Structure 1
Amino acid sequence: MPDPKSIFLSRIIRQCADFLLFSNIFIALCAVAQALVTYRLLGVKPAQHVLALLFCSTLALYNFSMLLSKPTAPKKSPFRRVRWIFGHYRVMVTLTIIAVISLVPLTLFLSVSSLILLSFLAVVAIAYNLPLFSINEKRFGLRNIPGLKLFLIALIWSLSCVLVPIVETTAQHVINVSAADTILLVGKRFLFIAAITVPFDIRDLFQDRYHNLKTIPVMLGEKKAYLFCQLLLAAYIVLLFLFTREFDGNFWGLTLTIILSGWLILKSSIRKNEYYYFFYLDGTMILQFLAVALCSWLFRFI
């Protein structure tokens, strides 16, 4: 007979995990971690207001997206995440409102260049979710354009977590990053984010086909989509090797993360539960920062 204490503890852990993952707090922390990776690669002190802004904006946008796409019967959804979100509707709305309100004072600390960039990203993110366009009286959002969903997600993430810190750091005259280095940093991050995003679309393959959403897995098929992920990561590794000036802790931390991400993607499948995707795959964004920080620390003793 199962121990009541272990059952209770297991239930508490799952409830905490559900809140962390499904409230989108975890993915917001991933955005912070990715910005921290950028600051570490630049060798500058992180700007706290930028980190806070990325956290709040990510939380607000992801919650907005989920609340906007409410299914007709959320309690009957096959996805635990959907059932949790709409079973805790007031919590989600409250978190979203807090995040949006918090953005107002945070924007006051930003430079004009950063504000323009973030405004552009906000417009793209909203257009991604809202059916703002129409053809033959059929309304659709940017995500419905064949193949564009992956590109937009990777673009928004890479520009937010790489270009925003660079623009803000440059505006504060802390460091001057060349255009070539900026493009390289954004490009590599784009490849990484795109690679770990595709498995989510593979998981939703049948659902996307039903809704006629032309994602990469729908267009290529499951096996070719997995191969596509590995090619993206391989391209990242190639760029990392070609343009690395010093094989330091940053290099090895990034390399280890990419290798692990490739392995996790290979292990992912349609049959994996939601925790695998939202914790392990999304978690590689946090892992990347931890790996870079740890490897850099270890290299001090070499």
Structure 2
Amino acid sequence: MPAASRALPLRLLDALLYSSVWLATAAAAQTAATLRLWPASSQGVAGLHTVVLVFAATLLTYNLDAALPFKHSQPPGTSGRKAWQQRHRPAMLGLAGTAALTGAYLLLTDGWVHFLPILLPLAALAIGYSWPVLPWRGRWRAIREVPLLKVFLIAGVWAAVTVGLPALALHRPLASALGLLGQRFCLVVALAIVFDIRDYSRDGAVALRTFPVLLGINGAKLVSLSFLAAAMALGLGREASPLAVVLPTALCAAVIIAAQERRGDYFFALVTDGLLLVQAAAYFIF
């Protein structure tokens, strides 16, 4: 359907999803959920600034990734997401620039420069995800091209940002959040495999070895459900509210089981990414 003929609510939804504002909101919500581990000290400026910093960093990372030049030479095919991002590349770069300025301001004014030895490797991993930075088999490759590494890289950075940064900001030992760190890692691995199911044919065509390519769709779902079960066990093991753990887990399991390559963009961008927001919201409700 041509963009001009789409109703305004759908155009706004496309902008929310495909500009990564939805995903950045999920990252900010999960950071806020982490801060609930230390309620006495998380209500002040440091906690709020950390949530904003994570929002800005997520928006910057994903918009820069989506705006990569080589991605705009690829035909969008039937993907409304890719077509939207190709049409709105200047706006996405503008969002990335605004996010970069916001993040830089917070880093400088809140004393994050003292943590640069920790932050720089995270930034390098985020940048190297899609950029060719690794010499491998005669040419430069992105980190995401290393077999099976992609989902673990995404989950590791996501957990480090949404759990580790709040601990740093509040000067809390990371050991006090290890259960949540493991839970967050396993949850994101489970959902990242769903996106590999979306990219099954494309990854197979370029010999990118992901779980679906190596194990098939059903095998990848079993791996995803295994990580989801581990996330639930870790959540219950750290004495979180059972409803806050079990209900989001059930929703995640339903999405994993329903995942198919042919599913539309809204299934992945709205529903699957939205599960991260649901999981965070559950800790405020229950």
1:277 aligns with 2:268: yes
| 1:254 is aligned to 2:245 | yes
| CA distance in 2 between partners of 1:241 and 1:202 (Å) | 28
Read off the aligned partner of 1:103 and give its amino acid letter.
G
Aligned to 1:3: none
| Residue aligning to 2:119 | 118
Report the equivalent of 1:82: 82
TM alignment of 1:221-260, pairs within 5 A:
221-244=216-239, 250-260=241-251
Q: 1:168 to 1:263 in 2, by over 3 A?
A: same
The one-character-per-residue Cα deviations of 1:262-295 (angstroms, maximum 9, x if unpaired) are 1121122112101011111111111112222111
Partner of 1:198: 193
Segment of structure 1 superposing worse, 272-281 or 126-135 = 126-135
Cα displacement (A) at 1:178: 6.0
Higher relative contact order (CA 8 A, sep 6+): 2
State how 1:40-119 maps to structure 2 within 5 Å. 40-43=36-39, 44-46=41-43, 47-68=47-68, 69-74=70-75, 76-108=76-108, 109-112=110-113, 114-119=115-120
Cα distance in 2 between the residues matched to 1:292 and 1:102: 27
| Identity score, percent | 30
The answer on 1:219 being equivalent to 2:219 is no
Unpaired runs of at least 5, structure 2: none
Paired amino acid for 1:209: G
Q: CA deviation at 1:196?
A: 1.1
Q: Distance in 2 between matches of 1:23 and 1:80?
A: 12
**CA shift at 1:135, angstroms?**
3.0
Shift of 1:118: 2.1
CA distance in 2 between counterparts of 1:223 and 1:113 reads 46
3-state SS of paired residue (2:67): helix
Larger radius of gyration: 1
**Mapped pair 1:17 → 2:13:** yes
Does the alignment pair 1:140 with 2:141? yes
Farther off after superposition, 230-239 or 143-152: 230-239
Q: In structure 1, how many angstroms separate the alpha carbons of the residues matched to 2:224 and 2:138?
A: 35
Note if 1:169 corresponds to 2:170.
Answer: yes
Q: Please tell me the root mean square deviation across aligned C-alpha atoms, in Å.
A: 1.9
Q: 2:282 aligns with which of 282, 291, 294?
A: 291
| Structure 1 stretches lacking a partner, 5+ long | 1-7, 171-175, 296-302
**Whole-angstrom distance in 2 between the partners of 1:100 and 1:41:** 28
Q: Structure 1 residues 252 and 115 mapped into 2: Cα distance closer, same or farther (>3 Å)?
A: farther
